[in-house]
Amino acid sequence: MENRENTCEQCDYYLQVQPGSGECRRYAPQPNRTIYASRAEATGGYKTDVHWPKVYDSNWCGEFKAKR
């Protein structure tokens, strides 16, 4: 397993939501795929949720920016 120092936990774009995980705030929230919600679940229409990407403290990517 790789040992990386530039993890989400150390990134300026990271917002911890609970111990061990959080959200990446690098870009605007993105919609999940659209699903049909039946009348029993909602109003009988199409539903799209929008979320920040969920990440773990130990994740990493190529757009790391050290915390200020």
Higher pLDDT, 53 or 44: 53
- pLDDT band at residue 1, thresholds of 50, 70 and 90? very low
pLDDT reading at 33 higher than 90: no
Q: What is the mean pLDDT of residues 5-23?
A: 96
Alpha-carbon gap, residue 1 to 24, rounded angstroms? 23
- CA quadruple 28, 33, 37, 43: dihedral sign: positive
pLDDT reading at 42 higher than 60: no
Average pLDDT, rounded, for the chain: 85
- Are 10 and 22 in contact by the 8 Å Cβ rule? The answer is no
